[in-house]
Structure formats: C-alpha cells, structure tokens
Amino acid sequence: MDKWDIVYAKDMPKDLKNGEYDEDFGFYVNKDFYIVSQMTRGRYVDLVGNDVKLKISNGRTSQKWFFDKKKKTIQSRRTPSYGIQL
C-alpha cells in the first residue's frame, strides 16, 4: 500500500490564471457562466436566498457562477461564500 506519490517538478500542475482553462475540472478559472437546464424551457439555476432554484433567465448575478480553482468549487457570483463542492 503506497503512502506517498512522487511528482517531479516538471510534471507539477501549473498555477492557472483567471480565464485559463483547467483541464482537470473542465472549467475556465474565475470566468462567469450560467447553468442552463436542457429541459424544454431552458431554465437557469438561480440562487434565491440560500436555495438553488430553476428560473427563467433574468440577467441577475444570482444566475451567474464561476469556478474557484483554489477551493475547487463552483461559486455564486452574487454570493461568493455560497458554493457547490466538486
């Protein structure tokens, strides 16, 4: 049973800057996106208070999300302390 991994410096993942694509997670770092349902009405995931709901597009920041590389979470742009753990 291995207790350690050896990772050579040249193979270490680089620190990604805002807007760069993270291949491990499939997101652009700190770049806004919407989560849109593929159901017939195409509703958006919206943060309402502390609840996540499906609503029609309204352009509010409560429907904008971004990937936080350090926390490895999807964060709400309106309330960055609210996130979805990946």
Q: Which residues are bridge partners to 31 per DSSP?
A: none
> Distances in Å between the alpha carbon of 51 and those of 55, 71, 78?
12, 21, 13
Q: Is residue 32 part of a domain?
A: yes
Q: Is residue 6 part of a domain?
A: no
The number of folded domains in the chain is 1
- Report the alpha-carbon distance of residue 14 to residue 12 in Å, rounded: 6
Q: Is residue 35 part of a domain?
A: yes
Q: Is residue 56 part of a domain?
A: yes
Per-residue pLDDT of the chain (86 residues; tens, 9 = 90+): 567 777 777 777 678 889 999 988 999 999 999 999 998 888 999 999 989 999 999 989 999 999 999 898 999 999 988 888 87
Q: What is the CATH number of the domain that holds 53?
A: 2.80.10.50
Q: Is residue 3 part of a domain?
A: no
Write out the E strands in the chain: 21-22, 27-28, 44-48, 51-55, 65-68, 73-76, 83-85
Domain of 40?
Answer: 20-85
Q: Is residue 66 part of a domain?
A: yes
Structure pTM? 0.78
